Every structure is written in C-alpha cells, then in structure tokens.
Amino acid sequence: MTDNIIEIKNLYRYFDKVKALDGVSLDIKRGSVVVVIGPSGSGKSTMLRCINHLEEPTSGEIYVDGELLTGEQKQLNEVRADIGMVFQLFNLYPHLTAKENITLAQKVVQGRTEEEANRIAMEKLIRVGIAEKADVYPSNLSGGQQQRVAIARALAMDPKIMLFDEPTSALDPEMIKEVLDVMLDLAEEGMTMVVVTHEMGFARAAADEVIFMDEGMIVEQTTPDGLFNNPQHERTKLFLSQILQH
Amino acid sequence: MGDIYHTDPEIETIEDLSGKRTFASLPWWLYALILVIVYTAWSVYTRENLREAFDFIIQGIGTTISAAILSYLIAIVLGLIAGLGRMSKNIIFNNIATFYVEFIRGIPMLVLIFFIGLVGVPTAISWLNELGFTLITNKDISTYSRAIAALSITYGAFLAEIFRAGIQSIGKGQMEAARSQGMSFGQTMRYVILPQAIRNVLPALGNDFVAMVKDSSLVSLLAVGDITYEAKLYSGSSFRFKEAYTILTILYLMMTVALSSLLRVFERRLRND
Ligand SMILES: Nc1ncnc2c1ncn2[C@@H]1O[C@H](COP(=O)(O)OP(=O)(O)OP(=O)(O)O)[C@@H](O)[C@H]1O
Ligand SMILES: [Mg+2]
C-alpha cells in the first residue's frame, strides 16, 4: 500500500501535432492539496482530465490508489466513481433540481436507495451551505450556488480525491469567495485535492504543493512558500510577475 | 436552452413585439380555416349528396388514425436507434444507420410506400423463412401491416435526423460530468442526455406527427381502407368526385388544424416553464 493516491508516469497526450502533455510524471500524496498553475495552453486541464481518463493518454501510466488504469470501461467507471471532478462551467444537469443532481449518480452508479441518496444529498447541500436550494433548478441558481451544488454532487460519491479545473474562473468576483471557502473547508478536513486555479490566495492558504506547468511539462514543483519567495526557473518568475500584477 | 425547431416564427414575433394581441396580429388565417370547416360540416348536415359521401368515407377514419399513430410510435423507436447509430463510434452500427437514413432520404415517399410494401416486406419474410423461421408466410401479411411497415420505416429515417440534431444540441460538458461520476455511456444517455434532447426536439416531433397524418394517405396505394382509399372507392363507383374529394380534403384539414393548434399551445407552455 502506497502513500500516493495518484501516480502519473511519463504521461504524453498529443492532439495531432500539439503536444498538450509532453512527458509528465507526478505523485500525489493521500491527503495533500496540490495546486496547478501555468499559462493558458500549458496542459493543466489535459493533465487533470487524463487522471480519470476523460482524456485518453497517448502514452504513459496512471495509477489510482495503486491500480493501473487500462482504459477498460468497467474499470474506468469504477475508478471514476471514486474521483470527484468539478468543472469550470459547473456542468450541472439542467433538467434536474439541485438535489436530483446530487442523487442521480448515487442511485445509478452506487445503487443507493432513493432515501439514502436523498439523505446524503441534503447532508452535502448543508455542507456547502445551500440546503434551502435543494428543489431549485440550476437555471435559477447563481454561478456560485451552481458551483457549490457541483461540489456537493461530487462529494456525495465519497470520493478519494477531488479534481478542480478552474472552479472559480467563470464566476463573478463576488461569488468567488463562497466557492473558495467551501474548498478551503474541504482541504482542512483532509480531502485530497488537485486544483487548477489562478487564485494565488487559495494556493497560499491551502496548498501543500504547487506545480508550475508550461508547454506540456512540469517546470517546477515546490511549496507555496518556495514558489512565491524563491522561484527557481525563469519561466516561473515571468508567469508569476504577470499574474501577481493584477 | 434553445429549441432547434420553431413553428410559425412570424406569429410568435408579432405577439412578442407588441406584448399583447393587436387586431393585425390575430390569426385570421386560422379563423378562415375554421370557417371553411364549419361551412362544410353544415353542408354535410344539410345536403343529401354530401352526407352520403361523408358516411362512406368516414368508414376509413379509424384506419387513418390508427395507421398514423402506430406507424409514428414504431418510427420513434427506429428513429432513436438510427439517430444514436448515426453518432456511434462503432463503425458497423454507424454505417448501417447512415445507410438506412440516406437510402430512405434518396427516394420519393410515394415510391417508398410501393417499394417497402410490395418488395421490402415480402423479401424480408422470405429471407426469414429461408433461415428457418416459418412462422408466417407472405400471404399472412395484411396490406395494413405492409402499410405500417412502409410508413414507419420511412419516418424512422426522418426522425433519426431529428434525434441526432437534438442530441448534438446538448453540450459535451453534460457527457463529461456524467462520465466523470462513473456513469456508463448508456446510463448517461438515458438519464442525462436523452431527457434534455427529447425536450428540445418535442416541437419538431410534433410537426412530424402532423406530417405523418397527412402522409398516411399514401397507404391507400396499397389498397388499405383509409379515408383516401374510401374516397377513391366512393368516387369511382358513384362518379361524385366533387363530393368525395371535398369531404376528404376537409377531413384532413380538420385533423391537421386541430393537431397543430394543440401543438402550439403545448409548445408555448413548454417554452414558458
Ligand atoms: N480536444 C482538443 N483538441 C485539440 N487540441 C486540444 C484539445 N484539448 C486541448 N488541446 C490543446 O492542448 C493544449 C493544452 O490544452 P489544455 O486545455 O490542457 O491547457 P490549459 O493549461 O488547461 O489551458 P487554459 O488555462 O487555457 O485552460 C493546448 O494547446 C490546446 O489547444
Ligand atoms: Mg484549462
């Protein structure tokens, strides 16, 4: 039994001639919070999406909890149920209420009863602070509320790890905090998280490790302290100077 | 969430722009249609010749309605399967579905009715028999069944394209969200994609049902006793062409105007919630 919940070995992902991932290796420790930063097109989303095979790797190996992903559907479905994913555009199911969004996969994938799924859904909605919106459809929720439902939806599957792909990028400024607060709580409770974000405040407060990616490669892997006070690479310095200006 | 099909956009616009109905925006054409129908109904009631024609032709109404509904239900199943096939990554499934849709779309409907009813069905049955399923022979297949087969196979191809467009109108984030939760492709289709897609294509499905009611008149070519066939029969024996085809015209008009109006109400309700 290894300490690493995720192990990525020599991961490549090409889109025709574009090398979205150009040899990435990374271990993610159980209970750690890893923040991924890097310029647009550097492969952050692609790496995240390869972890649960939403994007199929061109080559390389991914181990989830010690198990090598083979690409076989049954295995993938089982592994994906254990990996929560939160998207930039929320991707809630618009034809279902907040609560139904959270119960669907519980019932269909995990075989929970309606009652049990409902109970867990309410539990998670309380946790993200919007229990009163249980019966509301996504179109009647603000962006921040939608993203919190999306987080609750992922949590209801009892994930071993949560992946976030720019969860606050599509939000109005006044809603960013409510989502980040939920994520900070999660981090504090010991959830393993991989977070692609430009929110440096979150990185500083919650990250155990920060990874800087550029051109499909991991350029620098360090602590938040190391990143902000002592970046090693020119490209990292340049990127930081660009985003910290704002 | 945008519908991909609209009916009568010009009517809706006039209404939307002004907020309420103005004199000019009233559906005068609809009143005229209703007037024509009412006038004819009155004439049927008062004039002996018309009543006789009506009494004869109306015998086919059950066949017309049942053929339209039954064929449409089968066409929905065929269309859903073929529509999914058109988008499938499975090369065999995809090619079979595409062959089916392109084949049907390349042939006039009148010809298809003859071809499926008189060539397709008998050929399929004799192949089945050669394979050892001697459950039925071609003699057992009624003209009604042939007509249903012809209509539903034809419309299945039309509906396939509607379903395909509906499914493609759902963003790929939905598929990704569901798959990331561990749902299989089939589960995602069933619980996430199709409920949204079908809602989007309901107006188009409704329009096609109205079209099906009209096209069901083609089954008369196979000597199935629908209202068109009865009208032909009546006019042929009585030489009262004027009466027969006036009645026939009004019968179709009644059905389609009523159906279209229902659909419009239904659609408005769908758009408002
Ligand atoms: N489905 C795709 N088809 C073709 N090219 C793709 C696809 N997805 C990603 N790419 C390319 O792969 C590269 C890496 O993309 P990726 O989305 O992983 O970057 P990113 O770091 O997440 O960028 P951003 O900050 O803009 O989200 C880019 O050059 C992108 O254009
Ligand atoms: Mg990205």
Per-residue pLDDT of B174-212, as tens digits, reads: 999 999 999 999 999 999 999 999 989 999 999 999 999
Contact predicate B83/B159, CB 8 Å: yes
By C-alpha distance, which of B124, B146, B110, B126 is closest to B223? B146
- Range B102-130 average pLDDT: 91
| Residue A109 contacts B, CB cutoff 8 Å | yes
Query: A15 CB less than 6 Å from ligand 1?
Result: yes
Structure tokens at A207: 């990250």
Determine which helix (DSSP H) or strand (DSSP E) holds B266, and give its type and residue range. Answer: helix B241-272
- Range B149-168 average pLDDT: 95
| Residue A70 contacts B, CB cutoff 8 Å | no
Question: Is 90 exceeded by the pLDDT of residue A195?
Answer: yes
Contacts of B127 (CB under 8 A, 6+ apart): none
- At A242 the pLDDT is 85
Of B1, B183, B195, the CB nearest to A108: B183
Model confidence pLDDT, tens digit, residues B211-247: 999 999 999 999 999 999 999 999 999 898 998 999 9
- At B259 the pLDDT is 93
- Range B94-107 average pLDDT: 96
Mean pLDDT of chain B: 88
Question: Is 70 exceeded by the pLDDT of residue B15?
Answer: no
| Residue A81 contacts B, CB cutoff 8 Å | yes
Residue nearest to atom 7 of ligand 1 (CA): A15
- At B14 the pLDDT is 46
Find the range with the poorest average confidence among A2-6, B136-140, B145-149: B136-140
Question: Is 60 exceeded by the pLDDT of residue B156?
Answer: yes
| Residue A80 contacts B, CB cutoff 8 Å | yes
For B193, which residue in chain A has the nearest alpha carbon? A93
Query: A41 CB less than 6 Å from ligand 1?
Result: yes
Exposure letters A198-234 (e unless 16+ CB within 10 A, then b): ebbebbeebbbbbbbbbebbbbbbbebeebeeebeee
Question: Is 80 exceeded by the pLDDT of residue A215?
Answer: yes
Of A77, A82, A91, the CB nearest to B177: A91
Beta carbons of A157 and B180 less than 8 Å apart: no
Helical spans, DSSP H, in A52-166: 73-81, 98-108, 114-127, 143-155
For B196, which residue in chain A has the nearest alpha carbon? A95
Model confidence pLDDT, tens digit, residues A132-190: 999 999 999 999 999 999 999 999 999 999 999 999 999 999 999 999 999 999 999 99
- At B19 the pLDDT is 57
| Chain B: residues touching A (Cβ < 8 Å) | 1, 171, 173-174, 176-184, 187, 191-192, 195-196, 199
Beta carbons of B177 and A83 less than 8 Å apart: no
Percent helix, strand and coil across chain B, each rounded to 5? 85, 0, 15
A7 or B141, which is more confident: A7
Residue B160 CA to ligand 2 center (angstroms) comes to 35
Number of neighbouring beta carbons within 10 Å of residue B225: 17
Model confidence pLDDT, tens digit, residues A20-41: 999 999 999 999 999 999 999 9
| Residue A239 contacts B, CB cutoff 8 Å | no
- At B273 the pLDDT is 63
Question: Is 90 exceeded by the pLDDT of residue B41?
Answer: no
Of B1, B180, B195, the CB nearest to A85: B180
- Range B148-177 average pLDDT: 95
SS3 sequence, A55-84? Answer: CCCCEEEEEECCEECCCCHHHHHHHHHCEE
Residue A214 CA to ligand 1 center (angstroms) comes to 12
Pairing of strands A33-37, A209-214: parallel
Question: Is 60 exceeded by the pLDDT of residue A218?
Answer: yes
Residue whose token pair is 């969004």: A101
Write down the pTM of the prediction: 0.83
Question: Is 60 exceeded by the pLDDT of residue B5?
Answer: no
- Range B79-85 average pLDDT: 95
Structure tokens at B98: 């595409």
Q: Which residue from A11, A36, A46 has its CB within 8 A of the most atoms of ligand 1, so it is best to mutate? A: A46
- At B33 the pLDDT is 87
- Range B74-99 average pLDDT: 95
Question: Is 80 exceeded by the pLDDT of residue A238?
Answer: yes
